[in-house]
C-alpha cells in the first residue's frame, strides 16, 4: 500500500479512490502546501495567536 492509498483510506474513501489516483495525489499535495503555509511556533505549547481581549466598556454618559 502506497502512502497515497493509505491517506485516501484514512480519509474514508475506501476503494472509491481507485482510478482517481491523480486527483488524490493533487488533493494530498494541496493539503501539504496548505499545512506548510501556517507558521509553527517554536514551542508546541505556545498559543498559535495572541489571546483576544475585549476592550472594557466605556462609562455611560449621564
pLDDT digits (tens, 9 = 90+) for 15-49: 777 788 788 788 888 988 988 887 777 777 776 66
| Top mean-pLDDT range of 6-10, 27-31, 54-58 | 27-31
Task: Tell me the HSE value of 29 on the side-chain side, using a 13 A CA sphere.
Answer: 6
Per-residue pLDDT at 10: 80
The pLDDT value given to residue 2: 78
- Which pLDDT score is estimated for 49? 64
Find all residues with CB under 8 Å of 41, minimum gap 6, and list them.
47, 48
Amino acid at each position: 500500500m502506497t502512502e497515497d492509498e493509505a491517506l485516501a483510506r484514512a480519509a474514508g474513501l475506501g476503494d472509491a479512490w481507485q482510478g482517481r489516483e491523480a486527483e488524490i495525489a493533487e488533493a494530498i499535495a494541496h493539503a501539504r502546501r496548505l499545512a506548510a503555509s501556517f507558521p509553527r511556533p517554536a514551542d508546541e505549547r505556545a498559543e498559535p495567536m495572541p489571546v483576544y481581549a475585549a476592550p472594557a466598556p466605556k462609562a455611560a454618559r449621564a
